[in-house]
Amino acid sequence: MAQLDRSNEVRDMSRLRIALIGAGLVGQAEHAFYLWEERDRFDFFALVEPSAAVRTALGARYSIKHLLANIDELIPLKPDAAVIAAPDPFHPSLAAELLAAGINVLCEKPLSLTLSGCEQIKTARDQSGKVLQVAYMKRHDPAFKKALELLPSKIEDVRLISVEVNDPDHEPFVSHLPMIWPADLPVSMRDAVRNLGSTQLQESAGGPMTEAEARALGGGFLSSLVHDVAVVHGLLIAMDVALPAEASHGAIFDGGRGVQLAFGLPGGGRVSMSHLNLPGVPDYTERISIYCRDRIIELTFPAPYLRHEPTRLVLKRSAGGHALECVDFRASFEEAFRDQLRSFHAAVTGAAPVATPLEQAQADIQLLISAFRRAKT
C-alpha cells in the first residue's frame, strides 16, 4: 500500500512543541510536571539539561523524546516554544538565542540579574517578533486575580501595602517529590555558573560587594523579593499606577539573609516589603496586606512548591458601628503554575496578549537594584 505524502500538511499550532531548558528545582517540581499534564496544549518533546542523571530520570518519567545536553542540540529541532528554568545568570543569553532562532520563550524570574541583560533579551524579542513572557506565577494565582476585583478604584484610597515573607528555603516543601539532584555535574561547571553570576551581580551593584551584600542582592532582592515586587506591580497596574523606578528605602540585615524595600504611593500611601531567609524554622509565610480607607485585603500565599494548596484571601471591612465583617474567599484549587502555562499558550497562539511582558520585569529589576544600592550606601 502506498504511503500518503504528508509533507505539505500544515501542523496544528494549537498544540505547541515545547522544550524545557533546565531541570533543577523549579524545573522538576513544577514545569516538567505541568508541561506533561497539559498535553492538549503542549507536546513536551525535548529536555535540555547538562546533568545526564537528571535527563535520564525525567526522560523516563515523562516519556520525553529528545534528551539534550545543551541548547545547540535543541535549535535544529525547531520547537515552537521553550521554558527557561536554567540558573539565573544564563537567562539573557538563552532567551536571546532562542528568540533569534524563532522560538517563543517563557522565562523564569528573575528575567535577568542585570538591566543590560534585559536589554539583550528585548532586542532579540523585538527583532524576532516572538513571544517573551516572564514566569511570574503568582500573577496567575486565582486568589490574586480575585483580589484585583476587591481593590479600590483610586490609589489615593490605599494607605499601605505591606509585604512580609519568612522563607526557610525549599527543602521542607519538595522532600516529598521525586527530585533528582545533579550530583554528576563537574565542579568546573558549578564554578562557571557561580563566577558568571558574580560578574553580573557586580555589574548591578556598581562595584565589588561583601559576602553579605552579594547574598542580599542575588538571593534576597533579585531571586526572592522579585516575586512580591511582581505581585505589587500587578496590583498597581490594576489601579492604573506605574511602578516607580527608584525605591525610597532599602536595607540589608542578618548577614544578607534579610532585605527590605519601600517606596511611596500617589496620595500619601506607602509600600513596605521585607524578606527574611530563616532556615532554622521549617515554616513559609508570605503575606501581602493592602490597607485601604474602608477595607483591608490580605493575601497569604503557601510555599510555592506545594500543589493544590490555595492562597488565602480575606476581605475585612466595617459592618456598621463597631462590628467587623470578614469574608474568606477560596477562589479556586487551580494551580498558578498550570494557569501560567495556559496563559503562555494563549499568547503564542494569538488568543490573548502576553500577561507578564518583559517591560514589567525590567521595571521590577530596576526597582530591586535601586533598593540594594540604597542599602549598600
In a domain, 189, yes or no: yes
* Residue 251 CB coordination number (10 Å): 15
Q: Where are the beta strands (DSSP E) in 94-144?
A: 104-108, 132-135
Q: What is the rounded CA–CA span in Å between residue 67 and residue 58?
A: 9
In a domain, 6, yes or no: no
Does one domain contain both 203 and 299? yes
In a domain, 1, yes or no: no
Peptide bond preceding 244 in cis form (omega within 30 of 0): no
pLDDT at 12: 62
CATH of residue 127's domain is 3.40.50.720
Does one domain contain both 125 and 188? no
CATH of residue 302's domain is 3.30.360.10
Q: Considering 111, 135, 159, which residue would you say is the last residue of a domain?
A: 135
pLDDT at 14: 86
In a domain, 124, yes or no: yes
Q: What is the rounded CA–CA span in Å between residue 257 and residue 279?
A: 10
Does one domain contain both 205 and 295? yes
In a domain, 8, yes or no: no
The residues near 222 (Cβ < 8 Å, ≥ 6 apart) are 88, 110, 113, 201, 204, 365, 368, 369
Does one domain contain both 93 and 167? no
Indicate the number of domains in the chain. Answer: 2
In a domain, 291, yes or no: yes
HSE-CB of 166 using CA atoms within 13 angstroms: 9
Q: Considering 107, 135, 163, which residue would you say is the last residue of a domain?
A: 135
In a domain, 321, yes or no: yes
Does one domain contain both 121 and 228? no
Grid coordinates representing 153 are: 478604584
Does one domain contain both 59 and 99? yes
Does one domain contain both 370 and 227? yes
In a domain, 55, yes or no: yes
Does one domain contain both 102 and 146? no
Does one domain contain both 275 and 234? yes
pLDDT at 67: 98
The H or E element spanning position 262 is: strand 258-264
By C-alpha distance, which of 298, 148, 295 is closest to 235?
148
The domain of 38 spans 16-135
- What backbone phi and psi angles, to 5 degrees, belong to 227? -60, -45
By C-alpha distance, which of 70, 83, 102 is closest to 32?
83
The pLDDT tens digits along the chain (377 residues) read 334 444 444 456 789 999 999 999 999 999 999 999 999 999 999 999 999 999 999 999 999 999 999 999 999 999 999 999 999 999 999 999 999 999 999 999 999 999 999 999 999 999 999 999 999 999 999 999 999 999 999 999 999 999 999 999 899 999 999 999 999 999 999 999 999 999 999 999 999 999 999 999 999 999 999 999 999 999 999 999 999 999 999 999 999 999 999 999 999 999 999 999 999 999 999 999 999 999 999 999 999 999 999 999 999 999 999 999 999 999 999 999 999 999 999 999 999 999 999 999 999 999 999 999 999 97
Does one domain contain both 189 and 329? yes
By C-alpha distance, which of 312, 311, 284, 315 is closest to 297?
315
In the sheet that holds 296-301, the strands lie side by side as 249-253, 258-264, 270-277, 158-167, 285-292, 296-301, 312-318, 324-329
Grid coordinates representing 308 are: 493544590
Does one domain contain both 101 and 153? no
Q: Considering 108, 135, 162, which residue would you say is the last residue of a domain?
A: 135
Does one domain contain both 129 and 177? no
Contact yes or no for 159/293 (Cβ under 8 A): yes
